[in-house]
Amino acid sequence: MNTPICDFVRGYAAKQPLRLHMPGHKGVGPLGVEALDITEIPGADVLYAPDGIIAESESNAAALFGSAKTVYSTEGSSLCIRAMLYLAQLWAKAQGRKPFVLAGRNAHKTFLSAVALLDLDVGWLSSEGEKQSVVSCVVRAESLDHRLSAMAEKPIAVYITSPDYLGNISEIAALSAVCHQYGALLLVDNAHGAYLHFMSTPRHPLDLGADLCCDSAHKTLGVLTGGAYLHLAKSAPPMLRDAANRAMALFASTSPSYLILQSLDAANAALSDYCIEDIMSTSRRTASLRAALAAEGWTLTGDEPLKLTLSTKPRGYTGVEVAALLERERIYCEFADPDYLVWMVSPQTPESTYDVLLNALRSIPPRSPITDTPPMPGHAEHVLSPRESMLAPSETLPVEQSIGRVLASPGVSCPPAVPIVVCGEQIDEAAVNAFRYYGIDRIEVVREAIIAVNADNISVAGAIHAAAWQASHRSFCTQEFLASHTPERQTGYLREKLLRGSRIFLLLDGSPVALVSVTGSLIEDLYVLPDCQNRGFGTKLLRHAIQQCDDTPTLWILENNTGAARLYERMGFVPTGQRHSFGQLDEIEYQLT
Candidates 3.30.420.10, 3.90.1150.150, 3.40.630.30, 3.40.50.1460; correct CATH number of 278-362?
3.90.1150.150
pLDDT of residue 414: 54
pLDDT of residue 589: 94
pLDDT level of residue 411 (50, 70, 90 thresholds)? low
In 3D space, the residue among 149, 148, 174 whose CA is nearest the CA of residue 162 turns out to be 174
The two domains 47-253 and 278-362 share their CATH topology (first three levels equal):
no
pLDDT at residue 559 greater than cutoff 80 = yes
pLDDT of residue 244: 98
pLDDT of residue 130: 60
Of the listed ranges 60-64, 244-248, 268-272, 323-327, the least confidently predicted one is 268-272
pLDDT level of residue 297 (50, 70, 90 thresholds)? very high
Instruction: Please give the radius of gyration of the chain, using alpha carbons only, rounded to the nearest integer.
Output: 29
pLDDT at residue 584 greater than cutoff 90 = no
* Alpha carbon distance 399, 444 (integer Å): 9
CATH topology of domain 386-446: Molybdopterin biosynthesis moea protein, domain 2 (3.90.105)
The residue-averaged pLDDT of 153-174 equals: 96
Instruction: Report DSSP letters for 171-217, one per residue.
Output: -HHHHHHHHHHTT-EEEEE-TT-GGGGGSSS---GGGGT-SEEEE-H
pLDDT level of residue 132 (50, 70, 90 thresholds)? low
* Better-predicted residue by pLDDT, 161 or 420: 161
pLDDT of residue 510: 87
Q: Does domain 451-551 have CATH number 3.40.630.30?
A: yes
pLDDT in tens, 183-221: 999 999 999 999 999 998 999 999 999 999 999 999 999
**Could you tell me the CA-to-CA distances from 274 to 270, 271, 496 in Å, in that order?**
6, 6, 64
Order the strands of the 335-336 sheet from edge to edge: 299-301, 307-311, 340-344, 335-336
pLDDT level of residue 382 (50, 70, 90 thresholds)? confident
* Alpha carbon distance 157, 369 (integer Å): 42
pLDDT of residue 556: 93
pLDDT of residue 129: 63
pLDDT at residue 562 greater than cutoff 90 = no
- Any residues with CB less than 8 A from the CB of 554 and at least 6 apart, and which? 521, 522, 523, 576, 589, 590, 591, 592
Dihedrals phi, psi of 121, to nearest 5 degrees: -90, 140
Domain chopping of the chain, boundaries: 47-253, 278-362, 386-446, 451-551
- Write down the pTM of the prediction: 0.88
The residue-averaged pLDDT of 346-365 equals: 96
The CATH architecture assigned to 47-253 reads 3-Layer(aba) Sandwich (3.40)
Instruction: Report DSSP letters for 420-439, one per residue.
Output: SS-TTBBP-HHHHHHHHHTT
* Alpha carbon distance 208, 179 (integer Å): 12
pLDDT at residue 412 greater than cutoff 90 = no
The residue-averaged pLDDT of 16-44 equals: 95
Mean pLDDT of the chain: 93
